[in-house]
Amino acid sequence: MSKSLKELRPVYVVGIGLHRYQFLSDTTYVDLGLTAVRAALADANIEWPTVESAYVGRALLPMACGRPILRHLGATGIPIAHIENASASGSTAFRQACIEVASGTSDVSLALGVDKPMAIARAEGLTGIGNLADDAIAPFTHFALLADQYATQYGVRHEDIALVAVKNHRNGAKNPFAQHQKERTLDEILGGKKISGTFTSLQCTPVGEGAAAVIVASEDGIKRLGIAASRAVRVAASAGRSQKVNIDATRYDAVLTKETAEIAFRESGISPRALDIVELHDAFAVEEIEYVEAMGICGEGEAISRLKDGEFDIGGRCAVSPSGGLISMGHPIGPTGLGQIAEIARQLRGEAGSRQHAGARTGLAHMVGVGAVCYVHILQK
């Protein structure tokens, strides 16, 4: 009989660290990665030799980028595995580190996400199966089509969908690790460079680089290493799914989100309306609208009115993308899912400073990736 993460021994986030997400620079991926890992070790107040395994999430960097980073911490000989899972690479690295600790194979494991902008080659284009015009349908057009579909179905204005970007840029302006750190008015967002459909550049995630590291530990590890249990955040659920054959074949991300989140809610015993914090894959503004509904945080067709009422603001009913999300904090690919975990841990510890959502006790991290795949984690304090 298979078991969920919750049925194995408890796993806790004990250390988080980031290198700011930023536009392409001369910073090497080694510097990006080391900055994040050293920050996570300092946050946990442990030394590198206590870490027993490492999972490195990346989607753009070439083969085997992990050891060229980690050897500069002192080569301890631990197992290093690389995870490529498109946008969900970091989330998947986190899940594997959690499973390793939950199973008892390690007491302390590192998940590191690191990437730099590079030419993207997608395997789906190499299957030998033809396509009509996939070269003309970039991800922003895929989501622009879904935005048009949503706006038609629920009779909402495209300007209302752009309100997601207003909120997330406002949040990102308070996040020192965000790629964009500037508040934007709705007029500024709507008047920006046109990309596809009604999307302007500030409703789309920027291309960038960065790193995020999360250290997870068992209760044995926490006790043995003297880690502050008061700052440890429990991983209450971990769920991953991939796309099935859907009737609405283009809305697979929302369908997958619903299915994966339901597994995580069941595993954790936490209901969607009890969440305090949600970090989700808002690479394009309409995604936040679709996913909060798919997760059951609000009813179908209700997201715009809830957004306008401030329910998803920091200080609202459930803070959605308090980090700034992918739209403002950025989406360097490999790090993104781990940056979400870092933000949620910070919020649940009450250490998020000017963007703190008061009284946060539960948080959900969600990423989708091309394929399509979906990963959801729930953290609890």
Partner 1 sequence: MTAPDLLKPALYRAEGSDTDPDHPALLGGACECGHVFFPPQTYGCERCGRMSLATRALSGAGKLLASARVHLHGGKTRAAPFTIVSVRLDDGPIVRTLLAGDDAVHPGDRMVTMLVPVTNAEGAELLDLRFVPQR
Residue numbers at the binding site for partner 1 (CB under 8 A): 127, 129-133, 135-138, 140-141, 144-146, 148-149, 152, 193-197, 245, 248-250
Choose between 152 and 230: whose C-beta lies nearer to partner 1. Answer: 152
Structure tokens at 147: 């935005």
Beta bridge partners of 194: 200
Say how far apart CA 154 and CA 293 lie, in whole Å: 12
Q: Are 46 and 215 in contact (CB under 8 A)?
A: yes
Q: How far is the CB of 197 from partner 1 (least distance, A)?
A: 4
Q: How far is the CB of 146 from partner 1 (least distance, A)?
A: 7
Q: How far is the CB of 200 from partner 1 (least distance, A)?
A: 9
Choose between 26 and 135: whose C-beta lies nearer to partner 1. Answer: 135
Q: How far is the CB of 345 from partner 1 (least distance, A)?
A: 36
Choose between 241 and 306: whose C-beta lies nearer to partner 1. Answer: 241
Q: How far is the CB of 379 from partner 1 (least distance, A)?
A: 34
Choose between 3 and 193: whose C-beta lies nearer to partner 1. Answer: 193
What DSSP element (H or E) covers 369? Answer: strand 362-369
Choose between 28 and 246: whose C-beta lies nearer to partner 1. Answer: 246
Of 360, 336, 355, the closest CA to residue 176 belongs to 355
Choose between 130 and 176: whose C-beta lies nearer to partner 1. Answer: 130
HSE-CB for 12 with a 13 A CA cutoff = 21
Q: How far is the CB of 283 from partner 1 (least distance, A)?
A: 15
Choose between 145 and 225: whose C-beta lies nearer to partner 1. Answer: 145
DSSP annotation string for 301-348: T-HHHHHHTTTTSTTSSSEESTT-HHHHT---STTHHHHHHHHHHHHH
Choose between 23 and 229: whose C-beta lies nearer to partner 1. Answer: 23
Chain centre distance of CA 140? 18
Of 288, 360, 289, the closest CA to residue 328 belongs to 288
CA distances (Å), origin 292, targets 179, 198, 258: 24, 21, 9
Q: How far is the CB of 329 from partner 1 (least distance, A)?
A: 22
Choose between 1 and 132: whose C-beta lies nearer to partner 1. Answer: 132
Q: How far is the CB of 151 from partner 1 (least distance, A)?
A: 9
Q: How far is the CB of 149 from partner 1 (least distance, A)?
A: 4
Q: Are 169 and 184 in contact (CB under 8 A)?
A: yes
Number of C-beta neighbours around residue 284 at 10 A = 28
Q: How far is the CB of 196 from partner 1 (least distance, A)?
A: 5
Choose between 1 and 133: whose C-beta lies nearer to partner 1. Answer: 133
Q: What is the CA radius of gyration of the chain?
A: 19
Say how far apart CA 325 and CA 365 lie, in whole Å: 11
Handedness of CA 196, 143, 94, 230 (dihedral sign): positive
Say how far apart CA 160 and CA 143 lie, in whole Å: 15
Chain centre distance of CA 304? 22
Of 262, 353, 342, 354, the closest CA to residue 40 belongs to 342
